[in-house]
Structure 1
Amino acid sequence: MVLEPVQPGLWLIILGAIAAVLGPLFGFLGGSMIGQGDPEASVNPMFLALFTGIVIGGIGTVVAILGGLRLLRRRAQDEAASPAA
């Protein structure tokens, strides 16, 4: 078995997609575990955990998009470098 290197950008797509999916889920889970907290507090801990998860998911989405652009750019370079048949 021979391991072949993957194209640049593939790992960014995979890791970004995982962060985009799991970030909001873990934010919701963490917020549910924390609970409502103090009613007199200025920021609800449940809201803060969910908002943090959504921000992490958004960052993961941006990373996945950047990985996709890098992958497409590399494929375009490979097609331009290959001789025309």
Structure 2
Amino acid sequence: MKAIDVLKQIALALQQLTMPDRLWSIEDLQTYFNVRSTVAYRIKDQPNFPKPIRLLDNSQPRWRPQDIKDWAESRREKNSV
């Protein structure tokens, strides 16, 4: 893992502590899953991935952090069975 990736993960963790209700962007998904942007876009396109929140009609999609964490945990549980 590159130093920049570690710093992004630390920054995301600090944001969660200071702003727990902050919605996540696609860049936050990248950091959380530790993947490149192309993979983050493929993840968000999964049929059972949480639906995004759009603050305006043409705005960037945002997600509730807990929805993403719950989805990731459900995937982990499915893959460990």
- Of structures 1 and 2, the one with the larger relative CO (CA 8 A, separation 6+) is 1
| Same fold at TM > 0.5 | no
Query: What TM-score results when the alignment is normalised by the length of structure 1?
Result: 0.28
Report the TM-score, using the length of structure 2 for normalisation: 0.29
